[in-house]
Amino acid sequence: MALHRSRARAVAWRLAGHLARGFVMILVVTTISFLIIRNVPGNPLAARYEKLVEQGMAPDAAARAVEVLYGFMPQGSLWDQYVGYMSGLARFDLGESLMVPGSPVSDVLLSATKWTVLPVLAGTLLSFLVGVVMGVYAAIKRSGVLGDMLAISGSLLHGVPQYVLALLLGAIFTTLIPILPAGGTADILYEPGFDAAYIGSLIEHATLPVLTYALAGYGGWILAMKSSVVTVLGDDFILAAELRGMKRSIIFRYVARNAILPLFTILALSLGLLFGGSIFIERIFNYPGLGLMLIDSINNRDYALMGGAFLLITVAIIVANIVADLLYTVIDPRVRGEGETA
């Protein structure tokens, strides 16, 4: 019982440390985003302000209108602008979008988020299942040709950037054998709703993005699982089980259960990685998630939206890192032990 409580305390301390560090990181990222928006060439804030004043708006009202748009005042000292921007962020007020006139950036981002999160989750799940099974196989057959091939396929897929995978898949399935749609979320023929045609079209359009996420994640899983299984195979308790004449299938279950533990921490990291990769995949398949939003906002000089998309993607990755490290503490008994003695 005492042990249990001290373990809980260790995890709580670690959590507190991570939250503090995560907070600092988010502060750094928001500061970067503020400085970039403020220093964009051509000073869009001042230009907007001048234009509004020229159109006959009172200077006060014009300043307020610009503040609504970008989240901070066009004039004033750097510090005042910074404080204004940060206090807006604290209220989730990210300004207003230019690309989607009249709607707050937070609304635009919220509607884009689902188009990133769902394909990323589906792709991760798929690559996790396939990669883990193949990883076990590659570990068992590691001195054979097939094991070698699997490991090399893993290294290659792990090494190749996501946009190369996406472009190759696109070239194969939309150009050479045009069986899948080249972009968008669903055919415009169908009304969004709970009917078979619309959902079928949704799935059809999501196939290529999901497949790309899955292939991009697969290499990491197979490599991690292979090295984890090889490590566990060398452990004494496996040798002991073999010496006791245990059935191979039961030994296999021991191995798999012990080898899969460390992989759950990679799950969180991989989610973060794919979130970043969404920029390429969504651009290539014209899929309206956060990544495409970031690119579109840069190309359309919608700096408030750019700042918001940048923050959301970055914060998602930072949070994934924290979750991965916490999972590591909870799952791996050795790390847990360290936390207790410290």
Partner 1 sequence: MSVTVVPAAGASATVRRNFWRGVWRVMRRKPSRMVGAAIVAGFALMGIFGPLLYPDPLPRDTQALYAPPSWRHPFGTDFEGTDVLALVVTGARYVLLTAAVTAVITVVLGTAIGLFSGFKRGRWDSVLMRLTDMKLTIPGLPLLLVLSTIWKFTGAIEMGLVLGLLGWGGVARAVRSQTLSLRERGFIEAARGLGLSTGHIVGRELLPSMAPYIAMNTLIAVTGAVYAQVGLFFLGVLPFEANNWGVMLNLAVFGGGALTTTAALPYLLAPLLAILLLTLGIVLVVDAMDEIFNPRLREE
Residues of this chain that interact with partner 1 (CB under 8 A) are 21, 24-25, 28-29, 32-33, 36, 39-41, 143, 152, 155-156, 159-161, 163-164, 167-168, 170-171, 174-176, 182-183, 272, 275-276, 279-280, 283-284, 294-295, 298-299, 303, 306-307, 310, 313-314, 317-318, 321
By beta-carbon proximity to partner 1, the closer residue of 63 and 325 is 325
By beta-carbon proximity to partner 1, the closer residue of 195 and 338 is 338
C-alpha to C-alpha distance for 127 and 38, rounded to whole angstroms: 41
By beta-carbon proximity to partner 1, the closer residue of 73 and 292 is 292
**286 in Cβ contact with 183 (< 8 Å):** yes
By beta-carbon proximity to partner 1, the closer residue of 62 and 311 is 311
By beta-carbon proximity to partner 1, the closer residue of 161 and 200 is 161
CB of 124 to partner 1, least distance (A): 17
CB of 278 to partner 1, least distance (A): 10
CB of 59 to partner 1, least distance (A): 27
By beta-carbon proximity to partner 1, the closer residue of 167 and 335 is 167
